Amino acid sequence: MAHWLMKSEPEAFSIDDLKACPNSTDFWDGVRNYQARNFMRDQMKPGDQVFFYHSNCKVPGIVGVMEVVSEPYADITALDPDSKYYDPKASKENPRWFAVDLQFKEKFPDVISLESLKQNEALSDLALVRKGNRLSVMPVETHHWDAVMGML
């Protein structure tokens, strides 16, 4: 079982939005970065645990946990001309982009802020806290996961 971190702007889709979905489950679409896609497509498996990270907001940070509940599958929003995620280079035969279903598991009582994550020595080599990192889907080592959970 692997661990991940996935970012979303809470104004677009927050952890509360996920929790409010039917069965607290929704598909995570709109990933349009190859490195992030490769992680999803090639390595994500049902049962994997995922940190939900709120980006581009007042207090950016990790706000809770969700779980992968599907195999990766083609992101159909890439094929929809009306979607903001439309990609003319994607096709049914070659979907190019992938999505996965995620189920809400837990919302932390307080956000674990980016600031506090940066101050934690144990997380100094976590990709998230490294300068200029823009990956929206990234793997999290188990010892990093445990260190974050220890900050609750």
Q: In this structure, are residues 122 and 143 in contact, taking their beta carbons and an 8 Å threshold? A: yes
Instruction: Tell me whether residue 43 or residue 56 sits nearer to DNA (CB atom).
Output: 56
Task: List the one residue out of 44, 68, 62 whose CA is nearest residue 8.
Answer: 62
* 33, 38, 124, 142: which one binds DNA (CB under 7 A): 33
CB 115 within 8 A of CB 128: no
Q: How many residues at the interface with DNA, by CB under 7 A?
A: 19
Please give the radius of gyration of the chain, using alpha carbons only, rounded to the nearest integer: 15
> Using the rule CB under 7 A, is 96 a contact of DNA?
no
DSSP reduced 3-state for 117: helix
- Closest contact distance (angstroms) between CB of 22 and DNA is 26
- Indicate whether 86 belongs to the interface with DNA (CB under 7 A): no
**Sites of contact with DNA (CB under 7 A):** 7, 9, 32-35, 55-57, 60, 89, 114-115, 131-136
